């Protein structure tokens, strides 16, 4: 039988006069009834709608993973290497032509305060097998630390004294960040002699035959704009976090890049370890700094102009993974926010382009919508919010196929990139779900064009910082003298902050701790009341958030 107050509310006969006594019991019953009605009429239907949307997006991701996986498998089985799909012949100069048979190549190395790794990239670039009179090494140093600038300049002078055609270029500001540096680097007169540009970030170390493997694709196929190599990680075994990063990036290169190259001759340029045709860069409008993913921006514009891209999976370039969680978070913010922001700014341009409908569909739907938006937001909303919340709504059912079968298939599809790490797949999924919190925030920031949308924090690299010996007295003296000579000429854009002692709680990440606590509470509720069977997952995922939130992932540096 309904409470009397509820009946009066329904009939509209409840009248309260000022000064009349209020029965607290009746008000409590009335409040409970109203809350129950709000729950049944508003919240439950809303949760059901979110469930349907998440299930649909899960199926979209499944189809995409099966498709790219099938393409990569076909390429592997039938050995459809790029050398078979495109014309490729090694450069074989005769005695008359000599080095003139080799096209002029510019090797760009942008860097910013790369104290620990600058020698690696410069040394590797200077060691490339290519006639010395047909290659120019261009070091684009945006460093704000005068000591680092002097060290990089000293390294360039050393290689120049050995006969390498190397140019050390600096500018007075960091406008446009990496895109601005690359754009400025192309304005020098000596670049006009070059046909192609090879690009390497400061921690990348190409093998000596890199140009010999990549340039012939561009020479013999005028429709090709970009040749991309695969990344190989020198510190993958440094800690658990780097092992998990390797699994994600191996899938990206071995499966996603391979499929994009084989089916559509299009994929996102990775910003390094690639060779561009300068004519294609110019035709696409050059470098633009409107987002933090200038590499993807250029690739999309070049793809819309009809240029083709080639990915060489068996050509690997050594690089370094971020080994501190703080550096990894900053990197993932840029990698998630930038593509979402670019999608917002280029959607209309893509639709109005003159490429085939299939390529438009691939770029808009597969590359951007599913790959850069849905994949990031679904993981957090579905697995870290909706499933935990569902334990409070027993009338909302999530089908078993949407909770177990489809996610398992997606996981297996993504884990094939690194078979040697398959035993870490559970930890990998838990960590990927943790990172989905930041990827979702970043993607929404990019779509809304707000907050940290243009934030650019250079990924911290450690190189061999903790293994190398101190510099020799001679090198230290040379550096000191060089610092004195260049001190007045160097005007850093940002003053180097003094290191401050940090408290232990400054290492905590409170957003992770909050989500982890929420998931543990949901797990406890499931055990005691709901009995949906989600508690095992909720406890594991909640602990993963807490472990990460307490700063236990990655390596830790002194005074960090």
Could you write out the DSSP letters of every residue in 83-94?
HHHS--------
Where a domain ends, among 297, 321, 345?
321
pLDDT at 496: 43
Domain that holds residue 63: 24-80+334-462+506-559
Q: Is residue 30 part of a domain?
A: yes
Where a domain ends, among 286, 321, 356?
321
Cβ pair 298, 288 in contact under 8 A: yes
Q: Check whether residue 530 and residue 428 sit in a common domain.
A: yes
pLDDT at 425: 97
**Total structural domains within the chain:** 2
Q: Check whether residue 551 and residue 458 sit in a common domain.
A: yes
Q: Is residue 2 part of a domain?
A: no
Q: Check whether residue 424 and residue 512 sit in a common domain.
A: yes
Picking from 188, 199, 249, the residue whose alpha carbon sits closest to that of residue 228 is 199
Q: Check whether residue 295 and residue 383 sit in a common domain.
A: no
pTM of the model: 0.89
pLDDT at 355: 93
Q: Check whether residue 146 and residue 249 sit in a common domain.
A: yes
Q: Check whether residue 31 and residue 144 sit in a common domain.
A: no
Q: Check whether residue 215 and residue 307 sit in a common domain.
A: yes
Cβ pair 175, 202 in contact under 8 A: no
pLDDT at 484: 41
Q: Check whether residue 232 and residue 343 sit in a common domain.
A: no
Q: Check whether residue 74 and residue 96 sit in a common domain.
A: no
Q: Is residue 155 part of a domain?
A: yes
CB count within 10 Å of CB 220 equals 12
Q: Is residue 267 part of a domain?
A: yes
User: Of 153, 250, 289, 295, which is the active-site residue?
Assistant: 295
Q: Check whether residue 31 and residue 118 sit in a common domain.
A: no
Low-confidence ranges of the chain (pLDDT < 70): 1-23, 464-505, 558-560
Long-range contacts of 219-222 (CB under 8 A, 24+ apart): 219/91, 219/103, 220/86, 220/87, 220/88, 220/89, 221/86, 221/87, 221/308
Q: Is residue 350 part of a domain?
A: yes
Active site residue 142: yes
Structure token digits, residue 529: 């009341």
User: Of 142, 153, 250, 289, which is the active-site residue?
Assistant: 142
**In angstroms, how far is the first alpha carbon of the chain from the final one?**
64
CATH number at residue 177: 3.90.550.10
Active site residue 366: no
Q: Is residue 496 part of a domain?
A: no
Q: Check whether residue 110 and residue 253 sit in a common domain.
A: yes
Q: Check whether residue 233 and residue 271 sit in a common domain.
A: yes
Q: Is residue 326 part of a domain?
A: no
Q: Is residue 28 part of a domain?
A: yes
């Amino acid at each position: 039988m309904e409470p009397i107050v509820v009946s009066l509310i329904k009939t509209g006969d409840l009248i309260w006069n000022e000064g009349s006594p209020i029965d607290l019991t009746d008000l409590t019953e009335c409040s409970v009834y109203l809350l129950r009605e709000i729950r049944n009429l508003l919240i439950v239907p809303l949760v059901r709608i979110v469930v349907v949307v998440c299930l649909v997006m899960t199926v979209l991701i499944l189809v995409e993973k099966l498709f790219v996986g099938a393409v990569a498998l076909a390429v592997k089985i039938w050995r459809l290497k790029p050398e078979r799909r495109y014309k490729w012949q090694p450069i074989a100069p005769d005695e008359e032509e000599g080095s003139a048979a080799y096209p002029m190549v510019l090797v760009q190395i942008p860097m910013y305060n790369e104290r620990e790794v600058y020698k690696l990239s410069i040394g590797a670039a200077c060691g490339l097998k290519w006639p010395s009179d047909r290659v120019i090494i261009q070091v684009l140093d945006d460093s704000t630390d005068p000591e680092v600038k002097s060290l990089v300049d000293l390294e360039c002078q050393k290689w120049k004294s050995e006969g390498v055609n190397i140019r050390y270029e600096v500018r007075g500001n960091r406008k446009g960040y990496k895109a601005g540096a690359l754009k400025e680097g192309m304005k020098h007169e000596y670049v006009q002699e070059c046909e192609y540009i090879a690009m390497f970030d400061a921690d990348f170390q190409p093998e000596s035959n890199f140009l010999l493997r990549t340039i012939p694709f561009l020479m013999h196929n005028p429709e090709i704009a970009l040749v991309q190599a695969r990344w190989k990680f020198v510190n993958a075994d440094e800690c658990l976090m780097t092992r998990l990063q390797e699994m994600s990036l191996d899938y990206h290169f071995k499966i996603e890049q391979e499929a994009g190259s084989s089916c559509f001759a299009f994929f996102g340029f990775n910003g390094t370890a690639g060779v561009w045709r300068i004519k294609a860069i110019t035709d696409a409008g050059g470098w633009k700094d409107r987002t933090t993913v200038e590499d993807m921006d250029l690739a999309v514009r070049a793809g819309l102009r009809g240029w083709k891209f080639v990915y060489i999976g068996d050509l690997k370039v050594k690089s370094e993974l971020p080994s501190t969680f703080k550096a990894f978070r900053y990197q993932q913010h840029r990698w998630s926010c930038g593509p979402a922001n670019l999608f917002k700014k280029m959607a209309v341009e893509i639709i109005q382009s003159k490429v085939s409908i299939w390529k438009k569909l691939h770029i808009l739907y597969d590359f951007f919508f599913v790959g850069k938006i849905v994949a990031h937001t679904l993981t957090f909303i579905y697995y870290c919010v909706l499933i935990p919340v569902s334990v409070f709504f027993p009338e909302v059912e999530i089908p078993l196929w949407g909770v177990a079968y489809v996610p398992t298939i997606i996981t297996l599809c993504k884990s094939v990139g690194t078979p040697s790490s398959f035993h870490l797949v559970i930890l990998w999924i838990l960590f990927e779900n943790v990172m989905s919190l930041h990827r979702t925030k970043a993607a929404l920031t990019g779509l809304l064009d707000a907050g940290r949308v243009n934030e650019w924090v250079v990924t911290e690299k450690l190189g061999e910082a903790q293994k190398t010996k101190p510099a020799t007295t001679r090198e230290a003296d040379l550096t000191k003298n060089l610092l004195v000579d260049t001190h007045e000429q160097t005007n850093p854009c940002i003053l180097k902050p003094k290191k401050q002692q940090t408290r232990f709680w400054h290492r905590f990440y409170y957003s992770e701790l909050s989500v982890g606590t929420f998931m543990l509470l949901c797990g406890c509720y499931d055990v005691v009341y709901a009995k949906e069977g989600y508690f095992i997952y909720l406890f594991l995922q909640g602990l993963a958030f807490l472990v990460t939130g307490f700063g236990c992932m990655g390596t830790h540096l002194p005074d960090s």
